[in-house]
């Protein structure tokens, strides 16, 4: 397949994962490329989050390989640093405002651009000037902040586990529009959702995880 400079592709080949005597992933294979949104559906405990953690380098696999642009995770590449990630509850500093949380993380990479971070927060529907601490945010506001954190460094890849969690109808519509715009910007997006409507509206390819096995449903 022809690749353009700046494109990303992920190749998951025959990946298996165990925790003790329990096998949570069984011979999983998946190929993803820039400019598409890939959806994963499945019950809690089916293995979706474990697969996401392996893609990001948070967990290793006993069998198989994960390659990102041809580099093997765990050997040639330790962490998926070019990705924006939402997996489980982000560890925000709860007594700080949303803006100061993003500013702190942004400056860890020796970056500082207040106007840019304000624009990122506005993009996800948050008021950057609000001084309310994160501990007093609603679930939906914390989710918007998590999405802001995931996109603030303009990553080429997004790994999103239940990105619409806690959002009201308006919030869901706004984040759907944002993700579709990022797809048009040639991002590679993989998301898991229990909402079939999210999957139908957003995804080019849909896969189901059941008891650790992945099968393609459409696309």
What per-residue confidence (pLDDT) applies to 1? Answer: 44
List the 157-161 sheet strands across, edge first: 83-86, 157-161, 188-192, 36-41, 205-210, 213-218
pLDDT under 70 in the chain at which residues? 1-5, 109-111, 219
What per-residue confidence (pLDDT) applies to 179? Answer: 95
What per-residue confidence (pLDDT) applies to 218? Answer: 81
- What does the alpha-carbon distance between residue 188 and residue 182 come to, in Å, rounded to a whole number? 9
What per-residue confidence (pLDDT) applies to 2? Answer: 47
What per-residue confidence (pLDDT) applies to 3? Answer: 55
In SS3 terms, the chain reads as: CCCCCCCCEEEEEEEEEEECCEEEEEEEEEEEECCEEEEEECCCCCCHHHHHHHHHCCCCCCEEEEEECCEEECCCECCCCCEEEECCCCCCCCCCEHHHHHHHHHHCCCCCCHHHHHHHHHHCCCCCCCCCEHHHCCHHHHHHHHHHHHHCCCCCEEEEECCCCCCCHHHHHHHHHHHHHHHHCCCEEEEECCCHHHHHHHCCEEEEEECCEEEEEEC
With beta carbons less than 8 A apart as the criterion, state whether 117 and 139 touch: no
pLDDT in tens, 76-104: 888 888 899 998 777 788 899 999 989 88
Domains contained in the chain, CATH given: 1-78+194-219 (3.40.50.300)
């Amino acid at each position: 397949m022809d690749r353009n400079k700046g494109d990303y592709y992920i190749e998951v080949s025959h990946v298996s994962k165990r925790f003790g005597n329990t096998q949570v992933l069984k011979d999983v294979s998946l190929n993803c490329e820039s400019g598409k949104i890939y959806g994963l559906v499945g019950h809690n405990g089916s293995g979706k989050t474990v697969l996401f953690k392996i893609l990001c380098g948070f967990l290793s696999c006993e069998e198989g390989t994960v390659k990102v642009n041809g580099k093997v995770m765990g050997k040639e590449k330790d962490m998926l640093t070019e990705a924006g990630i939402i997996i489980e509850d982000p560890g925000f500093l709860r007594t700080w405002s949303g803006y100061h949380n993003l500013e702190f993380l942004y400056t860890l990479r020796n970056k500082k651009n207040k106007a840019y971070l304000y624009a990122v927060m506005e993009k996800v529907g948050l008021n950057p000037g609000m001084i309310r601490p994160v501990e007093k945010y609603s679930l939906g506001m914390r989710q918007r902040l998590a999405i802001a954190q995931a996109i603030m460094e303009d990553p080429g890849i997004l790994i999103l586990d239940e990105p619409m969690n806690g959002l009201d109808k308006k919030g869901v519509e706004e984040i759907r529009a944002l993700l579709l715009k990022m797809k048009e910007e040639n991002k590679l997006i993989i998301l898991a959702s229990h909402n079939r409507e999210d999957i139908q509206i957003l995804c080019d390819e849909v896969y189901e995880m059941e008891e650790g096995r992945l099968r393609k449903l459409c696309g």
